[in-house]
Structure 1
Amino acid sequence: MKTWKRLALPFNLLLLCPLCIQAQSNYKPGYVVTTAGDTLNGFIDYKEWVQNPASISFSPAEEGGAKQVFDATTASYFEINAMEAYQRYEGPVTMNPVKLEELNHTSTTEVDTMTVFLKLREKGKNMNFLSYTDKLKTRYFVQENNGGEPVELYYRRYYSSASGHAQLMTQKIYIGQLVVLAAKYGVPGLKRAIEKADYKDYDLNDIVSLLNGSTTSEIAAANKQIKNSRFYAGIALSRNVAVIEGKHPMSNVDKNSARFSPRITAGVDIFVNRHVQKMLLRIEATAATASSTLAKKESFYSSGSTSYTYKVSQQSIGLGPQLIYNLYNKDNFKLYVGLGAGIYYSHISDNTYTRQHENPSVSYEYKPTIYEDYFDIKPFWVAYTLRSGIILNKKYELSAIYMPPATVTQYVNYALRFSAATLGVNYLFSR
């Protein structure tokens, strides 16, 4: 066990070191148009905005420049070049909740007058498509290019008690709004597509693109170019350790040896924001082999002893999600930490417990007692993982992964547990 502790220490340090690094700014080229009409070229701190930003940080230089903060009262528009753009909006915003547990029991539309930044999702010849997301919900807007203001596409859910019991009602008012626009701009055959459209960004964005004169093939080609994910594959070297805990003769062993074994990994990363790549969800599949040997010797009487040995070998495949956050996030160098979970299936090829008595003072040859398939090991088991690593030049990933002990048996008084420490390298195929 001392060997294992010495090996685990570098992994623990590697996992903890990134926590000492503060989150970095992410200034990207862009510009701001102030409410006074001035255009300021420079750099904007581009964050992973899950909700529309209330304010932004602007600098005339990427590093070292004087910082300015703009909000919707001081800026009418800002854009991170070739990535995202937002425009100022002052007007009505619906405040009706859409989550089932928060729905109202009335069809009344709740509206607040707000001054906010709307995200510009498409800029077209007839109209623009925009959105506003806060902690309550996401709303979608269209703005005709005839000088009009953005108009929210209405979608409402509520409970009605007209039938004597609470009934979920959904009002897709946005369908009628879009049908009117299709008639106005002379886009034939669009009514059916509008009626099938959900209140989702990709459905509504496609409808607006058609209203702007795009063809279905052009829309499909544009959607294909938008990659919000990447695939990867790699190899790793893993040290897997088996331990027995509880009331069992092998709970305190003298020797616990584990072989280093190869591991193959493959998966997909899904970004919260494909441009920023600060946070991502990883779905990873693994295939690996592992083996461990536990040994213990107990002496008794004057010269007798009993040796205990347990050997376990397995071939495993696993699949599970991981949440990864880049603490240092530059284009050519990223430093991250992650937390994950996985379900594993193991084929146990060796599961042998041996007990051997010895006594040199007795002229008797003791035969070993061998128990094959000793533990009833669950074929499916769940484990958590901690990981830390770096990504170089958007293509190469080096990682250290630690899997805390996971129980693979169901006994009351003792348990067999597997843990692992892994060093790996992945190749990232895109992004």
Structure 2
Amino acid sequence: MKTLVTILATLICPVICIAQSNYREGYVIQINGDTVKGYINVKEWDTNPQSISFKKSQADREETKYTPLTIKSFAAGDYAYLAYIGRVSNNKNVFPDMDNYRDTTTSTDTVFLHELISGSKVSLYDKFKDNKRSFFFKEANQAPVELVYYNYYEDGTTIRTLPVYISQVFELQKKYGEGSVRLADFDRLNYRRDDLVRVFEKMNGDGKRVHKSTGGHQFFVGLGGVVSQNRFVGDNQFTAAGTVNSFSPRIHAGVDIFNNVVTKKLILRAEVSFSYNKPTFSGIDPLYTGAKNRQFYQFEQYNASLTPQALFSFYSDEAVRLFASAGIGLNFSFYKNNRFYADNNTASYLVVPYKLESYWANFPLQAGAVIAKRYEVAFTYVPRAAYTNYVLFGISSRVLGVNLRYHL
């Protein structure tokens, strides 16, 4: 336990001191049109950023703050944003937080619009702020225009919609579509990112750059080694045997799901793995039995695990990403050679072996690093968990491990 705590402290403490910066190579376009290359602190940005931090090199300690008032646009990694200062609709349109009437008022907003399509003819952007999703289009050097969508309650219960955006997109396709967009496309044109991206892709033809989503998934495979520290607890003659270690290789595979392909700050991981555990316990002979030989108990446990877990990346840059994780291990075990025996492999006075559970759970913790976006090394600690269901005693194991994974 002390060893793992030391490992976790070694990994995490320096990371916290780095203040969770995630600088990525990118550029800003200034008000005068000049492009300045450097590094931008990329964050989750579930809502559109109001400002960004920029520095010209990774080594710079000082950073410059930019807002939509001070630059035209910026880009970093898979992100691209356009500065916008203009009118936006006030109506709330995300169910169930909607207005009780059709609010047609507007107000001035200052925000960076997230680029979905940079098109040769017309570009598409989105904005999510105050629990409201909005989309904008931009023609050539003109200012962005909001695609208007009203979604509201009438009489407090009935939901009404007014999809003004459909007529706006229809006019754009007449101007730029050149027949590529069909009327059937408008039958299923909802006010959603994927639907609008599909139509705007057709309007632009090949002259486009698409950022459909900043999320995604990545598969991995791996190989590692684990040490299972087994012991009896409670009222049992094998308690005196103490901790019995068993080493096993471990193979595993799985998938990571994330909502930000750049920082991968929060990741949901599903992993399957296989390992085994082969302890042998030496027990003290109870005096009342009259048996002269020392008694032994052994078994072979073959364990397949399904482990959903959550990973949190404390720090990431172009070269390395450091993370910690916690999850639940759902273990499916089968057993062989579950038996008692005495010295010199003679018969034991204990005959019926203990019942070992086929389905049991534990709670793995992990800390590690991903290098060059492909190679992962991680240290695993699994607190002690029992795989028996007796009242007076139990058999449990604690696991220490090292895992190497390759992200495909």
TM over 0.5: yes
Of 387, 396, 404, the residue aligned with 1:425 is 404
**CA displacement 1:349-387 (0-9 Å, x = unmatched):** 3444x4989xxxxxxx99512223x2251x333332211
1:224–1:103 CA distance, 2 compared to 1 (3 A): closer
Match of 1:274 in 2: 261
Cα displacement (A) at 1:52: 1.7
Q: Aligned AA for 2:229?
A: V
Task: Work out the percentage of aligned pairs sharing the same amino acid.
Answer: 25
Secondary structure, counterpart of 1:131 in structure 2:
strand
1:368 is aligned to 349
Residue identity matched to 1:383? N
Alignment of 1:110-149 (within 5 A): 112-134=107-129, 136-145=131-140, 147-149=142-144
Give CA deviations for 1:179-220 in whole Å, capped at 9, x if unaligned: 3432343443523223324444333212111122349xx99x
In the alignment, what sits opposite 2:68? 72
Summarize the Cα distance change of 1:134–1:307 in structure 2 as closer, same or farther, 3 Å threshold.
farther
State the match for 1:286 in structure 2.
273
The residue identity in structure 1 corresponding to 2:68 is: A
- Deviation, 1:89, is 3.4
**Counterpart secondary structure, 2:311:** strand
Deviation at residue 82 of structure 1 after TM alignment: 6.7
Which residues of 2 match residues 326-337 of structure 1 at below 5 A? 326-337=313-324
User: Which letter maps to 1:290?
Assistant: N
TM-score (norm 1): 0.78
> Structure 2 counterpart of 1:144, which letter?
E
Does the 8 A contact of 2:85 with 2:108 survive in 1? no
Q: AA paired with 2:9?
A: L
Q: 1:176 to 1:249 in 2, by over 3 A?
A: farther
CA distances 1:22-54 after superposition (whole Å, capped 9, x unpaired): 235333343333446665443322333332211
Q: Distance in 2 between matches of 1:294 and 1:154?
A: 70
Change in CA separation of 1:126 and 1:344 when aligned onto 2, cut-off 3 Å: same
Asked if 1:236 is matched to 2:224, the reply is: yes
| Unaligned 5+ runs, structure 2 | none
After TM superposition, the score normalised by the length of structure 2 is 0.82
Aligned partners of 2:231 and 2:397 also within 8 Å: yes
Distance change >3 Å, CA 266–CA 92, structure 1 → 2: same
The SS at the match of 1:369 is: coil
Change (3 A) 1:46 1:244: same
Aligned match of 2:236: 249
In structure 1, which of residues 55, 60, 67 is the aligned counterpart of residue 56 of structure 2?
60
**1: CA distance between counterparts of 2:230 and 2:116?**
52
Q: Which residue of 1 aligns with 2:205?
A: 213
In the aligned structure 1, how far is the partner of 2:237 from the partner of 2:46?
Answer: 51
Deviations 1:155-192 (A, max 9, x none): 63x55557xxx456666554444234323434435232
Is 1:185 equivalent to 2:164 in the alignment?
Answer: no
The CA RMSD measured in Å over matched residues stands at 3.8
Q: 1:195 to 1:257 in 2, by over 3 A?
A: same
Distance 1:238 1:367, change over 3 A: closer
Per-residue CA deviation, residues 238-271 of structure 1 (Å, 9 max, x unaligned), is 11234455x5426844333131011101122334
